[in-house]
Structure 1
Amino acid sequence: MNLEFQSRSEEICAEAVEMPEESNDLLVNQNCLRAYGRAIAERNYTDAQLRKTLKELAEFKFALDESAIVVITDAKGIIRYANDKFCEISQYKREELIGKTHRLISSGYHSRDFFEDFWQSIQAGKVWKGEIKNKAKDGSYYWVNTTVVPFVNESGKPYQYLAIRFDITERKRAEEALQRSGLRARQQAEQLEAAMEKLKQTQAQLVQTEKMSGLGQLVAGVAHEINNPVSFIYGNLVHTREYIENLLHTINLYQRHYPNPLPEIKTALEDMELDFLREDLPKILESMEFGAERIREIVRSLQNFSRQQESQMKSVDIHEGIDSTLLILQNRLLSQRDRREIAILKDYGDLPPVQCYASQLNQVFLNILCNAIDALEEPALEDKKEPGAIAIRTELSPEGSAAGCDSACCLGLTEGNFVVISISDNGSGIPESARGRLFDPFFTTKPVGKGMGLGLAIAHQIVVQQHQGHLECISQLGRGTTFLISIPVSQQREKVKQ
């Protein structure tokens, strides 16, 4: 019997013997027995509660050791206890850790001020929480979410520290990769902006060029210089989108399997505005892709304007080229919020296969049809009752009777028949003052940002220089515009000498 139990029993017995004098010895003995019984019952209850508490503490320790990295240090930071998870993540044996400080696993990532603030906080008896990057024995790095709890004595001074940590390496890697992707996206956006600025400067330089003979060579050089960085950026956008989607998928998996993160993790996610990043990154990529594609279109236009891209001519069905171009423009022909659907009226003649550069002629059709659609979308036509329509007519004409073709403009045309394609719209027409400049490079009647002024210039060069044909515009204000394209059915490689 221990002293505490004996002392308590004597107290109870003393209470029992303090009875009136008339009480007999038997009554005293009974009271003493009852007192001993109560003492034994209290002791048994106390022992049971103690065993229960010790069992719960052991279970808590087991659960903590299984789920967290646990370290206990003395007041000087010397490690006195390290659980298996700490040994596992640090790759050190327990005997290599005991008696050492955390300098053993220092990564050198954090500043001296970081650890000074850390020590000032825990030495003042305050709980410290934060994220620390450590270095394992093999030289690899890992991140832990750390909570350090000081144990203080009667005077309020810490005598040991309990550190509870959780491995957050994968999440930190995902965040760092996401940040790197965002940085690359911003850098590429800056490169796109610089490329656009360079393109604008190039355009200004081209406008000032006086001699058309040197314009093609200049434009070709500019297109080549711009095409290289834009191709690099455009090609990397696909990989950037894939990387970001993979990173976001990884984070989604993490959140799905760990739906209730620690408050520190939740706060970190809120600080980085993860939901905003999920929503904004795809928009940034879309705007970059749009800008890159726009630059590529401009470069292709410049290249088409400056040089021939096809190696040889082929005999093709002109109607197939027109139909494929209309298919590309189908979405633009559909009804819009402020106008009805644009009707396409076809009147195809019986044409033989035409020897030409098919893709270049398709671009001619595309440029002229786009201009016709733009003309039918002008605000001045909003009150027009007649629906917008584009009429396309083809015919075969003998030499010399091609529409708009005279002896001066048809030098270089081969003997034989011509194919004539007319594309007409019922828009508002083109002012007479602008008709004489329609085929000049960079001349446009459209608002700023609507067009570059290269479409008709490229079309003119393709028809006249590449196919020895003729391109003419006939327009009346209030009645619409017609473009007449005349090209020979077969080409003669040697031009008629003037």
Structure 2
Amino acid sequence: MFKSTKKQISIFIGILSLGIFAGFLFIAISTQLQVKNLVTKSIENKAEVLEKTIELHSKTLTTFCFDYTYWDEMSKFVDKPDSNWAKVNIESAMLTFETDYAWVYTPTMDLVYSYSSKSEEQLNGLPFDRETLIKITSDKFSSFFINSGSYVIEIHGSPIQPSDDLKRETEALGYFFIGRKWDRNYIEQLEDFTNSQITLDIYLNSAIKAKSDKNKDLTSIKILRGWDNVPVAHLITTFGLDTYSSIKKQNAPIYFLGIIFFALFTIAFVILIILWVNKPINLIFDALKNKDERKLNQLSERKDDFGSLASLVHNSFEQQKKLTQEITDRQQAESQLRMLSKAIDQSPDSIIITNTKGEIEFCNTAVMKISGFEREEIIGSTPKIFSSGRKTREEYQELWHTITSGKIWEGEFLNKKKNGDLYWESTTISPVTNSQGKITHYLAIRKDITEQKMMTRELIKAKERAEESDRLKSAFLANMSHEIRTPMNSIMGFASLLPDEDSKDIMAQYATIIYKNSEQLVNIIDGIVLYSKLQTHQLSFNPTTFEVQRLLNELRNMFKTSDNYSSITLFFDTPTETHDAITTDYEKLKQILYNIISNAFKYTHEGEIHVGYSYKENSTCEFYVSDTGIGIPKSDITRIFERFYRGSNVNESTVRGTGIGLSIVKELVELMGGTIWAESHTEDFGHIRGSKFSFKIPV
């Protein structure tokens, strides 16, 4: 009886619910389609009206620009600008065509005329460089927008050509641009034409799509683009949609009656389910969900289907408890065993388990793979099967004492494979205890480190060979420096005696050339030797206390004697706050500044070189050398301190050098615990005008 009644009620309620749902769904879909079509058509119509309005306004600018560039008088105006002619012919026409700006350019993009209807908004030419203007005029007739901050300007341009050039194929004699300001006044004109609200978004914050807002107003967005097709601003147009409200009012009664009917039906359905079906089913569900069979006691006394079902559920509880516990225990045990077995057997490290007598009871695959022994040969034997005989008896006693006392032993073994090959293993042996804390087994985890040992040995040998090679190379360079400097000193000495103050003959010039080139060669040799010592770590940091001014005076005297830089002035800047002395390596600091100043002279043809310093926090001092030379391209800044690297803008034939000067400077600064960096100064158009090297050291 219960099953039959429940089935009939379910079928009736299901059919009724399906019919009501289908009716509501049909009404909702029909309404949505009407609204969607209305929205789509409204957006299209309104957007088309706005587009036509803007197109008509823009066409006047196009006509103005086209007519005035197809005129011999305009080409004459480009050659000989005449303000009176412009006032009569251009400025008066601007009032007629409702334009706000006008510009006239020569074929080479030089501005010859600029006019604004409002003097306070004068734009002295289009805001583009020459290259951009050339790109813009590559198309004969251009039209685009520019952003001027609070509004945008619609620009139209055309080449100026003779009147007899009917096809406009001759070379342009100039270019004529006109502009119309899209400010609030112009926007209001568009609003009057289109009966809508228009906003000019020059910050490009609007989403690029048409949409309907919560007030049922439609929004359309037109993109205003620049000369390169990049968006400059958005023209956001909002249209009212009154029809939507009328549709909503028409459908409101239908929705209201449907909701009332569906609510009454739902209430009746819920009451029926609660009285006939839901209450006993909820009792059974609660009992199953909470696993509480006490909730079934009252229901079990009933003589209907629910009573029988409650008794079956009650009996199943008892069986489920036993079965669930057995399955859970078995699954956990099997899962742990499988996981442990796979982890141990697939481990790349050798794993051995022995009993307390040292007899091997288990070994994984890695043991057999590394040693070459079969599992049958290993199981039952002791770890002596792998012994190479290289470990002493005392070492084994110490190992055994450690693990039998419950501690972990770690160390290395030189073992022997079945074929006699020796191999190294890093081994960890730990005791395994039972629940009473008694040791029952020992676990050994061994890792093959043969390759690491060999690599370490080879690295040590290679390091020793490299160090020996560096020492020999450094000694060779030092000896060669001494051997070369001895004859060079003689050459320089005698070369300095050949010319006298009154001699201007060719021999005196040759002697001077010999002396200068010899001096340059000696400096190169000294640099190479210094670089070699830095690479082999033969230089040490020797700090002394001295006055910075003493060092600067010595540098001033070193460069004062040179007559090669008569067109360059060397300045030594002194900070306003000076200290009596600093503590650092005097000779290395002098070498650093000498190298940087020499570089500045080398790459500066004329101008100034400034050398200075300032005291910083944390007991540091920052030195700098700036020049007005050829500078450093941005692409070279990060590589300028690399060994043998020379800038991409250096003329190899006129500027000589080894390319290690700045590398030596960087290593000396780092040896003194400091840091160094370089900067490049550029003009507006990217022409490099000088460089500045700065370094900071602790003092």
Structure having the higher Rg: 2
Instruction: Name the TM-score, length of structure 2 as normaliser.
Output: 0.27
TM-score normalised by the chain length of structure 1 = 0.37
Report which structure shows greater RCO (CA 8 Å, sep ≥6): 1
